[in-house]
Amino acid sequence: HAMTTKPVLHGDNGSTLKATTVLAMLYWLGVKPSYSRPRVSDDNAYVESLFRTAKYRPEFPDKGFADLDEARAWASHFVRWYNHEHRHSGIRYVSPAQRHAGDDTAILAARHALYLQARERHPRRWSGVTRNWTPIAAVTLNPERDAVVKARSGCVDTQPLAA
How many distinct structural domains can be found in the chain? 1
Give the model's confidence band at 107: pLDDT under 50 very low, under 70 low, under 90 confident, else very high: very high
Residue 163 has pLDDT above 70, yes or no: no
Q: What percent of the chain has pLDDT over 70?
A: 74
Distance of alpha carbon 64 from alpha carbon 72, whole angstroms: 12
| Mean pLDDT score, 69-98 | 95
3: in domain: yes
Average pLDDT over the chain reads 83
83: in domain: no
The parent domain of residue 31 ranges over 1-35
pLDDT tens figures, 91-103:
999 999 999 999 9
Q: How confident is the model at residue 81, as a pLDDT?
A: 97
4: in domain: yes
Give the CA distances from residue 90 to residues 39, 99, 163, in Å, rounded to whole numbers and listed in that order: 15, 11, 8
Residue 152 has pLDDT above 70, yes or no: no
Q: How confident is the model at residue 74, as a pLDDT?
A: 96
| Mean pLDDT score, 37-65 | 81
Beta-carbon count within 10 A of 48 CB: 11
Give the model's confidence band at 2: pLDDT under 50 very low, under 70 low, under 90 confident, else very high: low
Beta-carbon count within 10 A of 95 CB: 20
11: in domain: yes
Q: How confident is the model at residue 162, as a pLDDT?
A: 45
